Amino acid sequence: MKWWSIATTAIIVLLGCVNQQQLKDKDYQVQLGRYLFYENKLSVNNTKSCASCHNQQFAFTDGYRKSITSLGENVLHNAPTLINIQQYKFYDWANPGSTTLTKQIIRPLYAEHPIELGLNLHYPQVKAYLEKDSVYAKLFKQAFPGDTAWFTLNQIEASIVAFEKTLSSYNSSFDKQTMSKSAQKGFELFKSDRLKCAACHNPPQFTLAAASSNIDSVYANIGLYNVGGKNIYPVEDAGLVSVTQKKADDGKFKIPTLRNIMLTNPYMHDGSVATIEDVIDIYARGGRDVNYGDYKGDGKLNTNKSNLINGFTLTAEERSNLLAFLHALTDTSILNNPKFSSPVTY
């Protein structure tokens, strides 16, 4: 055998070992991340975990209009699902700078207005707890064997992100191609030029947040508000404009996925729409008319509204078919998949 052949073979074997070790390390990170995802000790008063707002039984949402922090305050937005989040290019309802899960996780861990978990506010205590726990002590060293220090904030972040990337859902009737005839008709209606649903909620992820790097495509104003007829959303939650300072971006929010949509109510960025039937009514009308209260105004007339939201009419049969299709996007296997569940039973 030529010397270079021997060298090449050695390099290939070495690289194979390195890759296998990297895969093993990543598996340990996922395992550690699963523990940390369900760990209440990360919150400033030991009452909340990531799973508090992203509950497996609600397809990793929480069923509330707006999630509640560890200190009992409401956060600004409705908790989005984490399912298939590894496929996304944008992660935040109204912050286009959140383009990786590592960037996204900063807010729930460290945000102070409001405090969500508040990990940074009591990190020394958390570190001491992790060091003393035999399971965590072992997992951190297995997950990060090349590091010389453990229980760091970066390691906590990386592990939770590694676990979140495993939260996948591809076992719906749509995925298995076992949709009913009614659902099949609903899918054709969904894709039609008349409804234009697929223009924003395109397969396979049913959100442009997974398909496009163009901010103007990923964030949209759907005519949910038109406060005082001034073409604005509530000032405390005005959407993309709060980052870009462009008036045309007022009311623009990230287009959410429709996968498991029947499990993730209430809907919209602020959880202000209770049922999927109400959502369909708003789109059919071409925007929502808020006829009372501080946010009174007709969203249909909001000039910043997407030009795709023009309204439509449905027969009773068409409506039934559309709902059948949306039901076909449900994957109930995620609700009890042990790989996604808390590793600790009480």
Which class is 3-164 in CATH? mainly alpha
pLDDT, one tens digit per residue, over 31-75 is 999 999 999 999 999 999 999 999 999 999 999 999 999 999 999
**pLDDT number for residue 26:** 86
> For residues 282 and 272, is the Cβ–Cβ distance under 8 A?
no
Report field, pTM of the whole predicted structure over 0.85: yes
Cis bond leading into 338, ω under 30°? no
**pLDDT number for residue 12:** 40
- Residue 81 contacts by C-beta under 8 Å, 6 or more apart in sequence? 54, 59, 60, 61, 256, 257, 259, 260, 264
Q: What token pair was written down for 42?
A: 């990360």
pLDDT, one tens digit per residue, over 288-326 is 999 999 999 999 999 999 999 999 999 999 999 999 999
Q: Residue 267 — φ and ψ, nearest 5°?
A: -115, 170
Which class is 196-311 in CATH? mainly alpha
Please give the Cα distance from 261 to 186 (Å, whole number).
15
pLDDT confidence of 345, banded at 50, 70, 90? confident
Q: Residue 305 — φ and ψ, nearest 5°?
A: -65, 145
Domain limits of the chain?
Answer: 3-164, 196-311
17 pLDDT higher than 90: no
What residue spans of the chain are helical by DSSP H? 3-37, 50-53, 101-104, 106-110, 123-132, 134-143, 153-164, 173-176, 181-191, 215-218, 241-244, 276-285, 316-327
Residue 293 CB burial class (10 angstroms; 0-12, 13-18, ≥19) = exposed
- 3-164 matches 196-311 in fold: yes
Instruction: Write the single-letter amino acid at 268.
Output: M
